[in-house]
Amino acid sequence: MNAIALLGRRVIERVRGIGVATLMLLQILFSVPTWLGFKLFVYQMYRVGVLSLLIIVVSGLFIGAVLGLQMYTILATFGSEAMLGTAVALTLLRELAPVVAALLFAGRAGSALTAEIGLMKATEQLSSMEMIGVDPLKRVISPRLWAGIFSLPMLSVIFAAVGIMGGKMVGVDFLGADEGAYWSGMESTVQFYKDIFNGTIIKSFVFALICTWIAVYQGYACEPTSEGIATSTTRTVVYSSLCVLGFDFVLTAVMFGGV
């Protein structure tokens, strides 16, 4: 009997948590933008977007390089190294750039957001804000959420561009695939709307919303203890990664499944 009650309580807690998170999201998305809000947003763009740039560029370069290396050796066995550019570009644009950038973003920026907001809550900064009549949702949560939503698609596009350059560096410059075939194969297969807009930008927009939403909610709802902050930060990374991978399958099925 107790076990069933426990299960019921868990489910009610989860559903309530999702409800609170959705209300928070809607409140932020439909609030009126202000000048102060924009300034805070720019500062958060710096912290969330610009500071993640290095990890994104470096991992993009290496993932592109690995793709170039692997694809070259595989394609060379069929004598079709000319397809190298197409393979690298499509893999990056459709899958790897949005997914890997989102995973890195969840680890690099999402966890930091959760820890920061959680510590604000633990040291009662959020409740003192409420006390002096400042809405912490507007002042703290909203600029962080918007910054995350806007910076991840930009980071993904940069990731893809750097990755393609990395693939070119290894495949063409080191291994000796034909440079003209690398670019022209890419040009004739990659479609801007389908692969770059749908594949990279829309996908990573969805991932950005999921990752930042989970991060700010976990920070906002965390237990105000040091252990609670640790749990919330871990949850942010785990939930974000799982959601990104799950939604990636759904989005891919919707975008490219029916072709």
Partner 1 sequence: MKSRTSELAVGVFVILFGIAIFFLAMRVSGLVGTNIADSYQMTATFENVNGIKPRAKVALSGVKVGQVDTITLDPVTRLATVHMTLDGSLTSFNAEQLKKVQQEALDELRYSTDYEAAVPAQQKAMEKQLLDNMTSITNIDEDAYIMVATNGLLGEKYLKIIPGGGLNYLKRGDQIANTQGTMEIEDLITKFVTGGAGSKSSETQEASADAVTSEATDAEPAFVE
Helix (H, G, I), strand (E, B) or coil at 199: helix
Q: Which is nearer to partner 1, 184 or 231 (CB)?
A: 184
Q: Which is nearer to partner 1, 46 or 249 (CB)?
A: 46
CB of 28 to partner 1, least distance (A): 20
- Please answer whether residues 118 and 222 qualify as being in contact, where contact means their C-beta atoms are separated by less than 8 angstroms: yes
- Please answer whether residues 85 and 169 qualify as being in contact, where contact means their C-beta atoms are separated by less than 8 angstroms: no
CB of 17 to partner 1, least distance (A): 32
CB of 128 to partner 1, least distance (A): 23
Q: Which is nearer to partner 1, 22 or 34 (CB)?
A: 34
CB of 167 to partner 1, least distance (A): 11
CB of 189 to partner 1, least distance (A): 7
Which residues form the interface with partner 1 (CB under 8 A)?
Answer: 39, 42-43, 45-47, 49-50, 53, 78-80, 82-83, 89, 93, 151, 154, 157-158, 160-162, 164, 183-192, 195-196, 200
What whole-number distance in Å separates Cα of residue 214 and Cα of residue 133?
A: 26
- Distance of CA 207 to CAs 100, 145, 157, Å? 11, 12, 13
Specify the amino acid at residue 45: M
Q: Which is nearer to partner 1, 56 or 237 (CB)?
A: 56
Count CB neighbours of 52 within 10 A.
Answer: 21
CB of 158 to partner 1, least distance (A): 5
Q: Which is nearer to partner 1, 43 or 249 (CB)?
A: 43
- Distance of CA 244 to CAs 89, 99, 209, 239, 248, Å? 21, 7, 10, 8, 6
- Please answer whether residues 200 and 98 qualify as being in contact, where contact means their C-beta atoms are separated by less than 8 angstroms: yes
| Structure tokens, 38 | 């924009």
> Which residues does 50 contact at the CB level (< 8 Å), separation at least 6?
none
State residue 136 phi and psi, 5-degree precision.
Answer: -65, -25
Q: Which is nearer to partner 1, 50 or 134 (CB)?
A: 50
